[in-house]
Structure 1
């Protein structure tokens, strides 16, 4: 049986901090599509402070291999 994938920031699939790359890897999604959807959601929704949430995720999600 496969071990469950843990959530961690990607060291290889990163643009800024690897947050979206890590989330995409964890759930088996496309990293590019995950980034695009996150940006669109951040722009369209006034109730979703995208930059603040990204910074919090950057602080809370450990980097891959740590």
Structure 2
């Protein structure tokens, strides 16, 4: 199911579904979003805090 809302899907989750939700929302393959997130974790910054914040704020699809 493709949707334009920013939700965490229940069927394509790895950890919390944040990357899958972002991928679906912006029309990007969720695998590409996951790879970009992992690569961004090699750089300094608040990536983990942003991921946790999105996990809390993004509603679940179910």
Per the normalisation by structure 2, the TM-score is 0.86
- Greater Rg, structure 1 or structure 2? 1
Higher relative contact order (CA 8 A, sep 6+): 2
- The answer as to whether partners of 1:39 and 1:50 remain within 8 angstroms in 2 is no
Equivalent position of 1:57 in the other structure: 54
Per the normalisation by structure 1, the TM-score is 0.82
Dislocated runs of 4+, deviation >6 Å: none
Tell me how many residue pairs correspond in the alignment: 60
Which residues of structure 2 form unaligned runs of 5+? none
Distance 2:29 2:4 in 1: 16
Which residues of structure 1 form unaligned runs of 5+? none
Root mean square deviation of aligned Cα: 1.3
